[in-house]
Amino acid sequence: MRPILCYTLLLLVVGCKTPAHFSAFEAPSNDRAWEPSLAVLSRADVDQDHVKLYNVRRCHYVTEDVYTTEYRDREFSLDDVQTVDFIVVPFKDFPSLAHTMLSFGMADGSQIGVSVEARLEKHETYSVAKGALKQFELIYVIADEQDLITLRTQHRDTDVYVYRAQATTTQVQALFLDVLQRVNQLGQQPEFYNTLANNCTTNLAMHINALKPDTIPYGMQLLLPGHSDKLGYRLALLDTSVPFETLRARALVTAKANAANGSADFSRRIRQ
């Protein structure tokens, strides 16, 4: 059965069982009893070339559900934002679906990760179908890269692929500012997450299209973001100097991330 047909059937079969508390008229809110790792929103102040980023998350995981969370503020010059990587995390049982993220490389060698997610309440679990029914709000998690990657490689047992985007420093910085603007917007005007229209990959595509209109078309590879790396390759947003299969093999960092977990030079080691 074709992946898109499976995906559609999943939404129809599970999605038709509307949760009892669901209301089409309920407004999105930032005021709920959130899962602890999703309880604090990031925000940013930008004054010309000076950036202050509040509440950058760093979770220290024992298991996926047992962790401690700390938040730090960061101040830096916009010129310190130098590179951006595109991260793809295929769903283990359905690799045509995936979570996608960005990671911005800083002049000091650190990385600032951006993960657009469904904002779960306490004891709530994610599902593709519920995500189509206004059951989750949307959150931009701004976090230490090690937090975002090892949660998935070590505690969710999923593969992670990290691709360097082909972009000039000016383009990277413009993308970073556009992301921060969206972070601040959601702090003031919450939105519902939507599995098809307002998810991780559609938001990342929106940022790219805001800087260069119509770069990424809305189509099957956005609905099935497990193939979004192949789309990025076809659009020359990723390195095209080698065959895609070679690039993808190089981008796989799962084993490196698990080996480097807890190290101060995590970001360097997974890119070696």
pLDDT (0 to 100) of residue 128: 87
What b/e readout covers 66-92, taking b as 16+ CB neighbours within 10 angstroms?
Answer: eeebeeeebebebebbeebbbbbbbee
DSSP strand E in 35-136: where? 43-47, 50-61, 67-77, 81-91, 94-106, 111-119
Model confidence pLDDT, tens digit, residues 180-233: 999 999 999 999 999 999 999 999 999 999 999 999 998 887 889 999 999 999
pLDDT (0 to 100) of residue 171: 98
Two tokens, residue 89: 């995390």
pLDDT at position 2 over 80: no
pLDDT (0 to 100) of residue 10: 45
Contact predicate 148/88, CB 8 Å: no
Residue among 88, 84, 75 nearest 113 (CA): 84
Confidence of residue 24 (pLDDT cuts 50, 70, 90): low
Two tokens, residue 242: 């080698």
- What percentage of the chain reaches a pLDDT higher than 70? 91
Give the containing element (helix H, strand E) for 11.
helix 3-15
pTM value?
Answer: 0.91
